């Protein structure tokens, strides 16, 4: 069965092509390209990706305007139906602003843009996004952001920890994120937001392939299902 995915592009997205290439390389099928102003996602999707970039120029707050784009109503409905949704970097910010994930992404603690490889530890290897990793495995994924400082109140952080919803954690915190959190899952486990860019680590030419298992995990779990 073919893997049916879509990549949403907002004004200011700059990683949408990278995401589309990653999905096609891993699944063998090119994703549908969806514009932020579209009212509906294509029918029958197995996977939706919100890419990195600077949607609407990060006006007001990073991701806040994109979260109110027409297409996000359809993305929310898809997530509620159980369709997997991945938000990377600006996509994570959009998911948080849209209420699909708890917390918020604030300005980096050092108030500078950070662009480098980051070593992560896989905290949850049982989700559809992370089943290709081992719990505790250390992976290297690039980061490139100015507003990646994950914040939530202590009660929310305790709940995320207790429910196993922290997907990835920084081994060396690069932005001030609470409890070194690099990626979180929703309660149902079908929505993942992460600041690091797995789509930039799927080919040896990228300097590493540690991001490939995330896409392979999703494709395998959905195609097998």
Model's pTM, two decimal places?
Answer: 0.96
Q: What is the pLDDT of residue 225?
A: 57
Sign of the Cα torsion 95, 90, 183, 28 reads positive
**Residue entry with tokens 């392939």:** 209
Distance of alpha carbon 23 from alpha carbon 202, whole angstroms: 10
Q: What is the mean predicted confidence (pLDDT) over 188-208? A: 96
15 is catalytic: no
pLDDT tens-digit series, residues 118-153: 999 999 999 999 999 999 999 999 999 999 999 999
Of 57 and 159, the one with more pLDDT: 159
pLDDT in tens, 150-161: 999 999 999 999
CATH of the domain at 69: 3.40.50.880
DSSP 217: H
pLDDT of residue 224: 64
Q: Does 146 qualify as catalytic in the annotation?
A: no
The domain tally of the chain equals 1
Q: Among this protein's residues, is 199 annotated catalytic?
A: yes
210 is in which domain, residue-wise?
5-224
Instruction: Report the distance separating Cα 33 and Cα 46, nearest Å.
Output: 14
Return the percentage of the chain with pLDDT > 90, whole number: 94
pLDDT in tens, 23-37: 999 999 999 999 999
> For the chain, what is the radius of gyration of the CA atoms?
16
Helix, strand, coil share (%) of the chain residues, nearest 5: 30, 25, 45
pLDDT value at position 222? 76
Work out the average pLDDT over 49-58: 94
d(CA 62, CA 58): 4
Catalytic residue chosen out of the listed positions 15, 89, 145, 174: 89
Q: Which residue has the tokens 């995401």?
A: 19
Residue with the bigger pLDDT between 106 and 225: it is 106
3-state secondary structure of 168: strand
Which candidate in 97, 123, 174, 199 is catalytic? 199
Residue 105 CA to residue 8 CA, distance in Å, equals 20
């Amino acid at each position: 069965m073919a893997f049916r995915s879509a990549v949403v592009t907002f004004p200011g997205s700059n990683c949408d092509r990278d995401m589309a290439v990653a999905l096609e390389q891993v699944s063998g099928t090119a994703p549908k390209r969806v514009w932020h102003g579209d009212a509906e996602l294509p029918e029958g999707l197995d996977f939706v990706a919100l890419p990195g970039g600077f949607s609407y120029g990060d006006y007001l707050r990073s991701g806040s305007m994109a979260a109110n784009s027409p297409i996000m109503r359809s993305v929310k409905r898809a997530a509620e139906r159980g369709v997997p949704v991945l938000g990377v970097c600006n996509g994570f910010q959009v998911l948080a602003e849209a209420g699909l994930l708890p917390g918020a992404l604030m300005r980096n603690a050092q108030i500078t843009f950070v662009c480098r490889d980051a070593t992560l530890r896989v905290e949850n290897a049982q989700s559809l996004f992370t089943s290709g990793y081992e719990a505790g495995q250390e992976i290297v994924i690039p980061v490139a952001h100015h507003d990646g400082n994950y914040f939530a109140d202590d009660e929310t952080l305790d709940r995320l920890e207790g429910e196993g919803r922290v997907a990835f954690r920084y081994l060396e915190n690069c932005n001030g994120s609470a409890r070194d959190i690099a990626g979180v899952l929703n309660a149902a486990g079908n929505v993942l937001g992460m600041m690091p860019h797995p789509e930039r680590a799927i080919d040896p030419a990228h300097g590493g392939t540690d991001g490939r298992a995330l896409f392979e995990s999703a494709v395998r779990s959905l195609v097998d299902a």
